[in-house]
Amino acid sequence: MPESFPPAADPPAPPDPADFDMMRRALQLARAAGDMGEVPIGAVVYRALTPDHAQIVGEGANRREIDNDPLAHAEILAIRAAAQAQGDWRLSDLRIAVTLEPCPMCAGAIVNSRLSRLVFAAFDPKAGACGSLMRLTEDPRLNHRVTPLSGILAEESSQLLRDFFRSLRQEKNPRSKDD
Ligand SMILES: [Zn+2]
């Protein structure tokens, strides 16, 4: 391997029980968004007090349709809420849990807010910027990096998304039940 090859990112620490708890909360937020006709994606910004306990600082769920806002992704809303609550845009002692792999915009927001840990559930092969299409949060050229922890409660998140899109198709075309 040539010497100039970029070094592998440090392996992330394994997820804590608190990360799973926060992902469960993010899934609740995602489900509520789905009930309102939004693609079900939720995010929680939190402070890990111990490996078992976390304090929620900001929450968000996708509101793109309701707000007619292409920026109203769950992560952006959770990060903004957390920064407001902290009175500081630097979130370097906080973590984020999100039910779907962040897109380039949200991955950029995670870098810019200096979050210390990114935990996500399902991969997004079409738009994900944290392993699928690119690895934005791990780019060594950026001045802040986060190695994502992926696959946390991924099946629950994938199921939620599948159910949402299935019911959407059935609404549009009530006669085809199984496609
Ligand atoms: Zn996004």
Residues, CB-to-ion distance under 5 Å, ligand 1: 73, 103, 105-106
* Annotated catalytic residue within 38, 59, 65, 75: 75
> What does the pLDDT read at residue 70?
98
119-131 per-position pLDDT tens digit: 999 999 999 999 9
User: From ligand 1's centre to the CA of 153, what distance in Å?
Assistant: 19
Scan for tokens 């079409």, then name that residue: 126
Phi, psi of 59 (to 5 degrees): -130, 155
Is residue 75 annotated as part of the catalytic site, yes or no?
Answer: yes
Confidence band of 99 (pLDDT split at 50, 70, 90): very high
pTM of the model: 0.90
Rounded CA-CA distance 155/178 in Å is 20
